[in-house]
A = this chain, B = another copy of it.
Amino acid sequence: MEDVKVVGFLGLGNMGTPMAGNLLKAGFSVVVWNRTKSKAKPLLEKGAIGADHPRQVAEKSDVVITMVADASAVREVLLGPDGVAASNRRGLRVLEMSTISPADSIGIAQELSRRGMAMLDCPVSGSVKAAADASLTLIVGGDPSVLESVKPVLQAMAKNVFHMGPNGAGCYMKLVNNVVLAAMLAGFSEALVLGKKGGLPPQKMLDVILQGSARSPLLEFKGKAIVDANFAPTFALRLMKKDLTLALATANEVKAPMPLTSFVNELHQAAIAAGLGDRDFSAIAQVFDGLAKAG
C-alpha cells in the first residue's frame, strides 16, 4: 500500500484536537472537519486544511481517522450522504478510533469494504494528556497489512499499538479494558466506605493502597478524585455506562456470564438516576456512600 501523505481527521473534540495536532507536528498534511466548525480553528491556524464535509475530507486524503461520539455519529460521517464512503475513493484506509461496539464496527467495516475501502478499528486508551503527549495506546482490529501501512500515522499519536485480531477485535478489547477499570473503581469505592464507617482517614487509606500491589494510575488519579469528592469529568460516568452496556450486550452474544460487571453497570445506572451522569466516572463512589448512609 502507498505511503501516507495526507491524513483526514473527523471529530475535533478534547481528544481529536491534540491527536490531529500531533499528526501535523509529525509532518503529515492534515485535512480536518468537525460538526461544529469553530472547533477546527486552532488546527487551521497550525496549518491544517479545512473541509466542508467528511466526503470532501476523504477526497483529499490517503487515510481518514474518525474520532466521534458514538456508533450513530460514526455511521453518519462514514456512510451518510456526505460521508466518507460517498467519495468512492477505492483504496482509502479508514482508522475508526471512537469507542463503539464490535458488532457495529464490523458492520461498518463491511459496508466500507464493499466500496473498496479498508477500515481498522483503533479505539484509544489514554487521557487527554496522553493525547497531547502522543503517548496514547491504540488497540487495533483488522487487516495486519493495512495496519503495517499506517504505522507512521499511528506512531505520530501513540506510544503503543496492539493488534488484537480481525475487524472488531480492537473495539472488543477496549470494552474488556473498561470492564476492568469500572470494577477496580467500584471495588475501591466500596472499600473506602468500609474504612470511612470505621473512622479511617480517606487520604491515609489511599496512601496505603497506593503503596501496595493495587498501585495503579487509575487509583492514583481517581482515588484522589474520590477522596477529595472532586468529580470534574475527564471521562463522564454516562460514557462509562455506555461502554459497560456495550460490554454486556457483547457478552450476551458470546454467552459470557458477567455477574460482576452487570452489577457494576447497575451501580452506574443508580448513579445516573442520582443525577451523576455528567460527572466523572469516579463519581460512582457516591453511590456507595449513598447506600451506606441512606437508602
Contacts and interface: CB of A to CB of B under 8 A. Distances in A.
Contacts of A274: 293-295
Interface size class of A (residues with CB under 8 A): 35 or more
Nearest to A241: B252
B198 A102 contact: yes
A191 B248 CA distance: 11
Contacts of A257: 193, 266-267, 269-270, 273, 288, 291-292
B175 A194 contact: yes
Number of chain copies forming the complex = 4
Contacts of A256: 193-194, 197-198, 269, 273, 292
Contacts of A175: 194
Interface in A74-105: 102
A197 B184 CA distance: 21
A56 interface: no
Contact of A179 (B194, B260, B294): B194
Interface in A31-73: none
A153 interface: no
Top 7 closest pairs, chain A to chain B, by CB: A183-B187, A274-B295, A290-B295, A216-B216, A262-B262, A197-B254, A213-B218
Given A180-B188, A181-B213, A257-B288, 7 more contacts: A190-B260, A191-B261, A198-B250, A213-B221, A257-B269, A260-B260, A270-B292
